[in-house]
A and B are shown apart, each in its own frame.
Chain A
Amino acid sequence: MPKLANFAAVDGLHTFPRLLFHHAQIRPQAPAMREKYLGIWQTWTWLDVAERVRALACGLAALGFKRGDNLAIIGDNRPHLYMMMSAAQCLGGVPVPLYQDAVAGEMLFVLQDAGIRFVVVEDQEQVDKMLEIRDQASALEHIVYDDPRGMRHYNQAFLHDIHELMEMGRVHDRNHADFLNAEVERGHFDDISVMLYTSGTTGKPKGVCQTHAAFIAAAQGGVAVDHLDASGDILSYLPMAWVGDHLFSYAQALVAGFTINCPESGETVMTDLREIGPTCYFAPPRVFESLLTSVMIRMEDAGQLKQKMFHHFMAVAKRCGADILDGKPVGFDERLQYWLGNILVYAPLRNVLGMSRIKVAYTAGAAIGPDLFKFYRSIGINLKQFYGQTETCAYVCIQPDGAIKFDSVGQPAPGVDIRIAANGEVLVKGPMLLKEYYKRPEATAEAINADGWFMTGDAGFLDADGHLKIIDRAKDVGKLSNGAMFAPNYIENKLKFFQYIKEVVCFGHDRDMVCAFVNIDVGAVGNWAERRGIAYSGYADLAGKPEVLELIRECVEQINADLVHDTMVADSQIHRFLVLHKELDPDDDELTRTRKVRRNFVAEKYKVLIDALYSGKSSQFIETEVKFEDGRRGKVSADLKILDAKTFPIVRKAA
């Protein structure tokens, strides 16, 4: 296992500032960054960027920024903010990007925790937030802003326009000609390059300290696996504080030397995507889903001929598209049809999506539906999933070309070792691991065990081909009474990929079988019912229709058939289920505000239903209190039918 990044591959350039100045030397006129401003894409070459970074770094030094200082960065993806990251690194400082939509109070914690003296922000909105908490963030000395709009009346001495800072830096640079080069020389690969705060769903956020070596290693791995090079383009639109953006838009861009493109505003991302036509693109599953939906809706309005053509060739793509992309053998006849389809349908479609030049598209953050995933791959878009955490530079598993499985997150990335602990937790080791949590040795010790394995907190398993499948958070995983693993989220997610099913809650910990509550998606099922002429009055009525129950039963049985193939989860087939008479709702405390099921609360509230599921009854009466949107309370009651689903015999492979 390589202990460090392969610095030989980048000419011994082992920090990000060195990489930057290297690019400025070997490809001075190539575009490094673009930003759409006043409707026109403005370009900064590597030479421009290096010059500005130099000026910014010297400016920071002139203001008193020293080695080891932390620089908070707050704003949308802006070239100057990326440059500020490099500037801080030149001086041996640590950039600390923050989520720009956080309110001032939330930012205060990070400012205090990291002892921030210098902060660079995008605009007036962020300046106002800083002014609001300035009294409490006692270390805060200087605020630099990028966009001068609305700043005319702010005349405090500690506020600096970024262009002023650059001017200040240029003067400093003239007077101390060797200063910056010497500072860059002092930089070491084992220095902290960036500090990213984890969102902290449990307790206060923690600052994850990553070294230059870690991020360079992670970037090199990704660049090598997906063959990215200096000719590439990426659209940088996800929060700079997110590890993925730092990996793609900063680390990989500097390692491979490709161009980052900053959209005009958050709302123009889709237009900008089409204009830039990036070669590498990241989006969470829901973005891919809404893109597909918009295509499908627009197809409905197309003429007869176009519709026929579209559906014909989409069927072709479904049969052989993904195989062709994976380089698997496909018959000549199918290939010919796909070739024709590419000219008539797939290529124009990719163009509409802004993905004509895509070499690789990534998705992560949530499970992606198999149909959705296959759709994109079948029209020739190399969509992949990856897996990683802030603590691992978002670099643990990637899906290599030609070996894509939609339900796995891929094989361990180059240089990464994976082990599954006895409790099913995924353990990771490699050059991309965090150095430490900032000023939290006890948390560091908790996350990295004595043998140097990082404990991800996710439960998963490696399949026969060495692909990692993530099934759940480790703490949610339980055991069936026969000792088999029970991962509720894994099964629930599988069911939720059906458009008819909105929410599922599975039970099975310490029980002899798995049972489930199902919430139907009233939109999709309502539509389905209308087309079949089934009349219904509301959610409860629809959910109780025998036809609907039959529909859901089919979905459940399909999942059971699917589950039986995975030895690890084959015992988790759903034996009995019911369709709830009301939607689970955050107002009734059944879901969190981010719409995650509060498992224990639901189990408590509907105890009588769970008992009925496990006692073999075929129906159960229930009355539930509900809170209406106007605050009134009412009761809904129903006689719920409990259905049995077909399960499949488990075929154990001979060991």
Chain B
Amino acid sequence: MNHPEPISALYGQSSEPSTMSRKKIGEVILDLQNISLRFGGVKALTDISFNVRAHEIRAIIGPNGAGKSSMLNVINGVYHPQDGKIFWHGEERKRMEPHMAAQQNIARTFQNIALFKGMSVLDNIMTGRITKMKANFLEHALWFGRARREELEHRQKVEEVIDFLEIQHIRKTPVGRLPYGLQKRVELGRALAAEPSMLLLDEPMAGMNVEEKQDMCRFILDVNDQFGTTIVLIEHDMGVVMDISDRVVVLDYGKKIGDGEPEEVKNNEDVIRAYLGAGH
């Protein structure tokens, strides 16, 4: 990767060229109201409300077991909250399944990489196009007519993603042979191939070294900036979160203890207590 800038220049908004206009944050597209989620007697989420605006980078943070991934799974339709309402573009969402989320242009990555290890990078990213394919099974199997035309179109999109993420050199490499940081990038690629309007990232930078984190930050900011994609991300690295996100929601033991811009959250007493323990 050729990003010669120091990490501060990458994160810091002050050092951006002055001509660079900040993106415009739109209206609320996802509104979660009083969400509660229980697994038997275990309360994973209790009465949580927050919203996501168009084109913003929204971070969800919190200590281990705070309910961050559960929250993402609720948005994604994997879990179904017992109480609360979810509004998607102003309409109340009924019980939803993950494939419906995909059809609504919500894409995600996973905390533990969930790629097809034996398949090439190209094929893995191609799977991200699945919801956009119209040809039926038989046409695909025979690679005939519509399927053939479609594949060319989809390949074009996939190649654009590959170009965007600068992974041309591993295009044909089986994913299982790649280092962890690159696998994470491929997973982001698969999510991007779906051309999502909202992207859910579950710890995109976990286990990465500084350089890989730096690259990943750059890609997240670029996705947000160039395609206007709304991004909801879970992340542990506070430096990263505070630098790239527009608003942050903080969870602890399934409850919301803070919500606002990074500066606000940083100075929130409850948040400090949750992270550093009582008595500080």
Q: Which residues of B contact A103 (CB under 8 A)?
A: 4
Interface stretch, picked from A82-90, A147-155, A626-634, is: A147-155
Q: Which residues of B contact A39 (CB under 8 A)?
A: 155, 159, 162, 168, 171
A39-B159, A268-B169 known; A125 vs B3 contact (CB < 8 Å): yes
Residues of A in contact (CB 8 Å), total 22
A153-B17, A154-B19, A155-B19 known; A38 vs B169 contact (CB < 8 Å): no
In the bound complex, CA of A156 to CA of B18 (Å): 10
Q: Is the Cβ of B4 less than 8 Å from the Cβ of A267? A: no
In the bound complex, CA of A265 to CA of B4 (Å): 17
Quick check: is B166 within 8 A (CB to CB) of the other chain? Answer: yes
Q: Which residues of A contact B210 (CB under 8 A)?
A: none
In the bound complex, CA of A290 to CA of B222 (Å): 36
In the bound complex, CA of A267 to CA of B172 (Å): 13
In the bound complex, CA of A155 to CA of B18 (Å): 10
Q: Which residues of B contact A173 (CB under 8 A)?
A: none
Quick check: is B264 within 8 A (CB to CB) of the other chain? Answer: no
Q: Is the Cβ of A268 less than 8 Å from the Cβ of B168? A: yes
Quick check: is A131 within 8 A (CB to CB) of the other chain? Answer: yes
Q: Is the Cβ of A154 less than 8 Å from the Cβ of B159? A: no
What distance in Å separates the Cβ of B227 from its nearest Cβ neighbour in chain A?
Answer: 11
Quick check: is B21 within 8 A (CB to CB) of the other chain? Answer: yes
Quick check: is A391 within 8 A (CB to CB) of the other chain? Answer: no
Quick check: is A128 within 8 A (CB to CB) of the other chain? Answer: yes
Q: Which residues of B contact A264 (CB under 8 A)?
A: 168-169
Interface residues of B in 219-243 (CB under 8 A from A): 222, 225-226
What distance in Å separates the Cβ of B12 from its nearest Cβ neighbour in chain A?
Answer: 14
Over the window 125-169 of chain A, the binary record of Cβ atoms lying under 8 Å from chain B Cβ atoms (1 yes, 0 no) is 100110100000000000000000110111110000000000000
Quick check: is A271 within 8 A (CB to CB) of the other chain? Answer: yes
Over the window 29-62 of chain A, the binary record of Cβ atoms lying under 8 Å from chain B Cβ atoms (1 yes, 0 no) is 0000000011110000000000000000000000
Quick check: is B20 within 8 A (CB to CB) of the other chain? Answer: yes
What distance in Å separates the Cβ of A228 from its nearest Cβ neighbour in chain B?
Answer: 29
Give the residue of A152, A155, A265, A268 whose beta carbon is less than 8 angstroms from that of B226.
Answer: A152
Q: Which residues of A contact B4 (CB under 8 A)?
A: 103, 125, 129
Interface of A is mostly: loop
Q: Is the Cβ of A38 less than 8 Å from the Cβ of B163? A: yes
A76 — nearest CB in chain B belongs to which residue? B2
Q: Which residues of B contact A265 (CB under 8 A)?
A: 166, 168-169
What distance in Å separates the Cβ of A393 from its nearest Cβ neighbour in chain B?
Answer: 30
Q: Which residues of B contact A150 (CB under 8 A)?
A: 222, 226
In the bound complex, CA of A623 to CA of B225 (Å): 60
Q: Is the Cβ of A153 less than 8 Å from the Cβ of B2? A: no
A39-B155, A103-B4 known; A153 vs B169 contact (CB < 8 Å): no
A155 — nearest CB in chain B belongs to which residue? B19
Q: Which residues of A contact B168 (CB under 8 A)?
A: 39, 264-265, 267-268
Q: Which residues of A contact B172 (CB under 8 A)?
A: 271
Q: Which residues of B contact A271 (CB under 8 A)?
A: 169, 172
B159 — nearest CB in chain A belongs to which residue? A38
Q: Is the Cβ of B20 less than 8 Å from the Cβ of A154? A: yes
What distance in Å separates the Cβ of A263 from its nearest Cβ neighbour in chain B?
Answer: 9
Q: Which residues of B contact A267 (CB under 8 A)?
A: 168-169
Q: Which residues of B contact A101 (CB under 8 A)?
A: 2
In the bound complex, CA of A103 to CA of B6 (Å): 12
What distance in Å separates the Cβ of B124 from its nearest Cβ neighbour in chain A?
Answer: 15
A123 — nearest CB in chain B belongs to which residue? B2
Q: Which residues of A contact B155 (CB under 8 A)?
A: 39
Give the residue of A125, A129, A131 whose beta carbon is less than 8 angstroms from that of B17.
Answer: A131
Q: Is the Cβ of A153 less than 8 Å from the Cβ of B160? A: no
Quick check: is B103 within 8 A (CB to CB) of the other chain? Answer: no
Over the window 69-106 of chain A, the binary record of Cβ atoms lying under 8 Å from chain B Cβ atoms (1 yes, 0 no) is 00000000000000000000000000000000101000
Q: Is the Cβ of B17 less than 8 Å from the Cβ of A154? A: yes
Interface residues of B in 148-181 (CB under 8 A from A): 155-156, 159-160, 162-164, 166, 168-169, 171-172
Q: Is the Cβ of B159 less than 8 Å from the Cβ of A156? A: no
Quick check: is B5 within 8 A (CB to CB) of the other chain? Answer: yes
What distance in Å separates the Cβ of A36 from its nearest Cβ neighbour in chain B?
Answer: 8
Q: Is the Cβ of A38 less than 8 Å from the Cβ of B156? A: yes
What distance in Å separates the Cβ of A202 from its nearest Cβ neighbour in chain B?
Answer: 26
Give the residue of B3, B5, B20, B163 whose beta carbon is less than 8 angstroms from that of A153.
Answer: B20
Over the window 403-447 of chain A, the binary record of Cβ atoms lying under 8 Å from chain B Cβ atoms (1 yes, 0 no) is 000000000000000000000000000000000000000000000
A125 — nearest CB in chain B belongs to which residue? B2
What distance in Å separates the Cβ of B176 from its nearest Cβ neighbour in chain A?
Answer: 18
A103 — nearest CB in chain B belongs to which residue? B4
Q: Which residues of B contact A155 (CB under 8 A)?
A: 19
Q: Is the Cβ of A153 less than 8 Å from the Cβ of B162? A: no
In the bound complex, CA of A267 to CA of B182 (Å): 14
In the bound complex, CA of A2 to CA of B119 (Å): 60
Q: Is the Cβ of B19 less than 8 Å from the Cβ of A156? A: yes
Q: Which residues of B contact A37 (CB under 8 A)?
A: 163
Q: Which residues of A contact B2 (CB under 8 A)?
A: 101, 125
Over the window 137-157 of chain B, the binary record of Cβ atoms lying under 8 Å from chain A Cβ atoms (1 yes, 0 no) is 000000000000000000110
Q: Which residues of B contact A156 (CB under 8 A)?
A: 19
A154 — nearest CB in chain B belongs to which residue? B19
A39 — nearest CB in chain B belongs to which residue? B159
Over the window 194-220 of chain B, the binary record of Cβ atoms lying under 8 Å from chain A Cβ atoms (1 yes, 0 no) is 000000000000000000000000000
Q: Which residues of A contact B226 (CB under 8 A)?
A: 150, 152
Over the window 17-29 of chain B, the binary record of Cβ atoms lying under 8 Å from chain A Cβ atoms (1 yes, 0 no) is 1011100000000
What distance in Å separates the Cβ of A151 from its nearest Cβ neighbour in chain B?
Answer: 10
Interface residues of A in 16-38 (CB under 8 A from B): 37-38
In the bound complex, CA of A155 to CA of B17 (Å): 10
Q: Which residues of A contact B21 (CB under 8 A)?
A: 153
B2 — nearest CB in chain A belongs to which residue? A125
Q: Which residues of A contact B20 (CB under 8 A)?
A: 153-154
What distance in Å separates the Cβ of B171 from its nearest Cβ neighbour in chain A?
Answer: 7
Task: Point out residues on A near B: beta carbons under 8 Å.
Answer: 37-40, 101, 103, 125, 128-129, 131, 149-150, 152-156, 264-265, 267-268, 271
Q: What are 12 contact pairs spanning A and B, CB under 8 A?
A: A38-B156, A39-B155, A39-B162, A101-B2, A125-B2, A125-B3, A128-B17, A152-B226, A153-B19, A153-B20, A264-B169, A265-B166
Inter-chain pairs besides A128-B5, A153-B21, A264-B169, 19 sampled, C-beta below 8 Å: A38-B160, A38-B162, A39-B155, A39-B159, A39-B171, A101-B2, A125-B4, A128-B17, A129-B4, A131-B17, A150-B222, A153-B17, A153-B20, A154-B17, A154-B19, A154-B20, A155-B19, A268-B168, A271-B172
